[in-house]
Structure 1
Amino acid sequence: MDWLTEFPQIGGRNLRLMSRTIDQQYRAFSRAFGNDIEALFRPLLDFLLWFEKLLLQTPWWIVIAVLVAIVWFASRSKGITAGTFVALMLIGIFGMWEDTMRTLSIIIVCTLMSIIVGLPIGIIMSRSDKVQAVINPILDVMQTMPSFVYLIPIVMLLGIGLIPGLIVVVIYAMPPIIRLTNLGIRLVDKEVLEAANAFGSSSWQKLTQVQLPLALPTIMAGINQTIMMALAMVVVASLIGVRGLGQPVLQAITNQYFTQGVLNGMAIVAIAIIFDRASQAYGKRLQRHREAAHG
């Protein structure tokens, strides 16, 4: 047999053998440590369930009033605020309120987790080119890997449920906040930092009183993108038990329920637009305030 035809067969056998070995080792790892890893994330799950219950049990008009007030505070735009009110009312009228509240709770919790984990990583990256060189390829993989691929190792490790869903959404949504925190801090004017050094500021004082405030508009852009990516995972995460607007969309695809799929998809779009417009408007306000302060 010619080596050109023999080589792929040998390579294929080796690849299958290696894959089988890795699969066996991963299964052994999941059996040994799966419960411990799940217990580690149990407080996060408890917080999510509490927040979801709070949104579901609070009267709808109070929830709408609070959300509209938050959007008004962030955007100071009558158009965005009125659009938010109309969208939330339509969501309730078409019977999607409970699923929307579940989606809202997981998006808010996952965004908070992404900020808590991603912000320090972005700060560390901004302080060291070597750390940036190590983390950037990891972020590239996280952003380019197909979303369904995230499900495979996590479902094998933790099974089906809310905890693996939370982890999948956080992993998928975290890269933008890390990248833009790093970028925002690196873009702070060197003359401002020199002035802070001249006043004898410590590294912590420079970070909290100079770098982070000046980088806040860029960080807000990262938070905006993190929210959008978390929303993009809603339908995919419904495959592993995440409740909310993604499940009716998945049912509509499976059973060919056109109206149900379109309405729930439009609800996801409405929530995405509300978050996007409010966070963008808030970021622009921060930018104008920064420019006025330095003008």
Structure 2
Amino acid sequence: MNIFSEIYGTYFRIAAKLLENEITDEKNVRETVQREGFRDSVLFLPQKLLPGEESWGLFSRMPDGTLGRITKKAPVKVLTKLQKMWLKSKLSDPRIRLFMDDENLAALEKRLGDIPPLYRREQFGITDRFKDSDDFYSEEYIRNFRAALEAVRKRRIVCVEFVSGRGRRMSGKFVLLKLEYSPKNDKFRVYCYLLRNDKIQGSGIINIGRIRSITDTGRCFRTPVSMDEYFLSRKCSSPAVIRVTDARNGVERFMLEFASYEKHTVRDLETGEYTVELWYDTQDETELLIRLLSFGPVIEILGPPQLRSQAAERVRRQYELLYGDKKTDT
């Protein structure tokens, strides 16, 4: 069983997708590569797919300039044993019920009845995760998640009732933009715009577990939405400035932990320390602080001042919980 096979790769999947149609064109090839591939795929993959000296020979150019596949039929989609074992493992994940109904799950269980799972959930030990995970078994949660997913896919305007982080019952009309899962919190949340008279009045993030109801208004949000503009509007005015030492493999751990963040990194060649400017969503400041403090003495928060003071206050409270209300030198 070969895990590192080209059939699991992105380029194989792109080529197979393009070969589904007998006739295509150069524009579709380039758009598919840009949409389905990596950032640098557009630099070399189209040359492999389009007829030419570097071509893989999958398409031939027709007299009218279009591209015809060289095969009579589209590629056959066959699941390998490894893929079936992976699917069997995923069936034990309660989050799969958010995307599939019970009837389809039962049919899939039956089809994979004689296939052993690739892994079992109990084989994994999760660390640094909050204990108040979302209840993925709740019928209300599943219903709200599916409604949110449908609203995201179709850009529907929806009325949402939810409970804020401070326990206040709130409601409003929203356009839901993107669903996101946080492994650290074991929660789903949705990025959204608040609407007034169908015009954007503000942006926010709502945890799916806090939603009490989602009602479709029957209307779509027609204004073009850019996720880059959305995140830019929520980005902090001043980045967190962090000094990272290489103690306990700190640099590699830090870069992995904050891989998804926009950042600027400078290395001090004499000390080997790194200074990282980290931009973040203002609503996620508390979560960012908790993640930073989990590194202990490996890092130092240099700024901005309010973030550094919040970190100092959290460390002070933790000290008091452990050792009592004793005065220490700071």
Q: Same fold (TM over 0.5)?
A: no
Larger radius of gyration: 2
Q: TM-score range by the shorter chain?
A: under 0.3
**TM-score, normalised relative to structure 2:** 0.21
Q: Which has the higher contact order (CA 8 A, sep 6+)?
A: 1
